[in-house]
Amino acid sequence: MKILLLNCQTSEGIKNILLKDELIEYIGSKQPAHDEMLDCSGLLVIPGMIDPHVHVRDMEMVHKETWETVSKAAIAGGVTTIIDMPNTKPATTNLHGLNAKREAAKKAKINYKFHLGATENNLQELEQILASDPTDVAGIKIFLAGSSSNEVITDENKLKEIFKLAKKYDKVVLVHTELQSCLDKWQQKIAEKSIQIHNILRNRECAIKGTELVLRIANEIGNKLYICHVSTKEEIKLIRVAKESNKNIYCEVTPHHLILDETILKQVGNFGKVNPPLRTKDDNNALLEAVIDGTIDCVGSDHAPHTIDEKIEDYSIAPSGFPGLETALPIIITEFDEREIPIKRLVELTSTKPAEIFSFENRGKITKGYFADLAVIDTENESPIISALFKSKAKYSPFDGSMVKAQINTVFINGRKYELNVE
């Protein structure tokens, strides 16, 4: 048994944190007996990020990412807990796929859960899993449109059945809200196909209509709804109104939708190709306002690694998505510092609220009796994001070269210390 004392400054102004085995044993101004002290003076200590939106890959896509490499990337980014998305090979749409992923995830160095994937014909298989009361299943993911590799649900009655199933077992329904029928319309409407107009080809109208649809169904059914990677000001307005009367509505923003806009695509090309697309500066501003006023509940990285060879293909072939685990927390901390948004709000978005929504018991806060999942961060010195040095297999980013005022120094996962760079 090793007892470690951290002498530090947290968002709550705490002076000392005592770690005993996996847990936080004490917080306060005293110096209890300890075996070792880590001097964190001048550094910020916050709960490790809980990232509810990660595409780990592995299994039949080990060339893109594995649980080993995603663990290294997470730790390097101050992320201590992730939830893996279901559009893997095999997909997490039945017990066979879930068990295959469970086996692969044994290699992880981080905490994790899984989202199940809904299709138009797997309701019975989902119920078979949920009826066993699995603690490692966080939610059910629905795609209303195709995005690199997933099954699409277009039947409204099927959506209602899935929402009812989720309510029955008290699970969250997560939705990628772009509507496929709407996307098809815009694809046919515009002959030109290029990364410069990705925002028009995957038109904002499609995300807005999908968000309207799932909000309406969720209000009817009464289940927990989590809208992934909100990207438009119109969606934020819809969600803000919906949350006034329905406490089961949640939403997420990614760092890239919050900070980047479509103009950067001239510079980064397909490395900035993502679904939903990067939008406009007006959308950035609306999302920022929603972060400040509490409309947005979580920050998710949407870590979606592909190979560089895939990303430099022609626009129409190149897959959407890019790595985000190593950039999410540094980017958000830097943005919050510049905007003078309190660190306490950042902690809510990156750890406390995700833990609450997705039922991570005793995680997401620096509190006695909670697991010692911590990120120790230098917020005084500026440094560039260098994607070539990523721990992820995907060594590219639209944030490459961006200056951040948040260097991850040390990470604790269940009390285990990881010094960076981690191997």
pLDDT score at 1: 47
In a domain, 170, yes or no: yes
What is the number of H-type helices and E-type strands within the chain?
15, 17
For the segment 333-359, the average pLDDT, to the nearest whole number, is: 97
102/211 same-domain check: yes
For the segment 248-256, the average pLDDT, to the nearest whole number, is: 98
Confidence tier at 422 by pLDDT (50, 70, 90)? very low
pLDDT score at 14: 66
In a domain, 136, yes or no: yes
413/295 same-domain check: no
Q: Does residue 375 have a pLDDT over 50?
A: yes
What's the rounded Cα separation, in Å, for the pair 301 and 307?
18
For the segment 4-28, the average pLDDT, to the nearest whole number, is: 82
In a domain, 154, yes or no: yes
Q: Does residue 44 have a pLDDT over 80?
A: yes
Q: Which residues pair with 10 in a beta bridge?
A: 45
Question: Tens digit of pLDDT for each residue in 50-68?
Answer: 999 999 999 999 999 999 9
237/191 same-domain check: yes
Residue with tokens 């997705």: 358
Mean pLDDT over all residues of the chain? Answer: 95
30/128 same-domain check: no
231/335 same-domain check: yes
30/52 same-domain check: no
In a domain, 236, yes or no: yes
Here the CATH number for the domain that contains residue 83 is 3.20.20.140
234/378 same-domain check: no
- Domain of residue 271, residue span: 48-357
36/146 same-domain check: no
pLDDT score at 11: 62
Confidence tier at 421 by pLDDT (50, 70, 90)? low
Residue 302 annotated as catalytic: yes
Burial of 342 (0-12, 13-18, 19+ CB in 10 A): exposed
Q: What percent of the chain has pLDDT over 90?
A: 90
* Domains contained in the chain, number: 2
Q: Which of 51, 302, 373, 400 is catalytic?
A: 302
Cβ atoms of residues 321 and 376 within 8 Å: no
In a domain, 362, yes or no: no
Q: Which two tokens stand for residue 330?
A: 């540094």
Q: pTM for this one? A: 0.96
pLDDT score at 277: 98
In a domain, 254, yes or no: yes
Q: Which of 205, 225, 206, 207 lies closest to 215, judged by CA? A: 225
pLDDT score at 423: 43
Q: Does residue 148 have a pLDDT over 70?
A: no
Confidence tier at 19 by pLDDT (50, 70, 90)? very high
177/281 same-domain check: yes
Confidence tier at 32 by pLDDT (50, 70, 90)? confident
Q: Which of 395, 375, 377 lies closest to 385, judged by CA? A: 395
Question: Dihedrals φ, ψ of 422, to 5°?
Answer: -90, 145
In a domain, 39, yes or no: yes
pLDDT score at 118: 97
Question: Tens digit of pLDDT for each residue in 288-308?
Answer: 999 999 999 999 999 999 999
Query: 332-337 long-range CB contacts below 8 Å, 24 or more apart?
Result: 332/255, 332/258, 332/299, 333/44, 333/377, 333/379, 333/404, 333/405, 333/406, 334/403, 334/404, 334/405, 334/406, 335/255, 335/258, 335/259, 337/379, 337/405, 337/406
Q: Which residues of 221-246 are buried (b: 16+ CB within 10 A; e: fewer)?
A: bebbbbbbbbbbbbbbebbbebbeee
292/221 same-domain check: yes
In a domain, 363, yes or no: no
For the segment 124-146, the average pLDDT, to the nearest whole number, is: 96
Question: Tens digit of pLDDT for each residue in 356-373?
Answer: 999 999 999 999 999 999
Q: Angle 95-104/123-130 helices, nearest 10 degrees?
A: 50
113/202 same-domain check: yes
For the segment 393-403, the average pLDDT, to the nearest whole number, is: 98
Please report how many Cα atoms fall inside a 13 Å half-sphere around the Cα of residue 295, on the Cβ side: 22
303/375 same-domain check: no
Q: Does residue 198 have a pLDDT over 60?
A: yes
Question: Tens digit of pLDDT for each residue in 154-192?
Answer: 999 999 999 999 999 999 999 999 999 999 999 999 988
For the segment 210-237, the average pLDDT, to the nearest whole number, is: 98
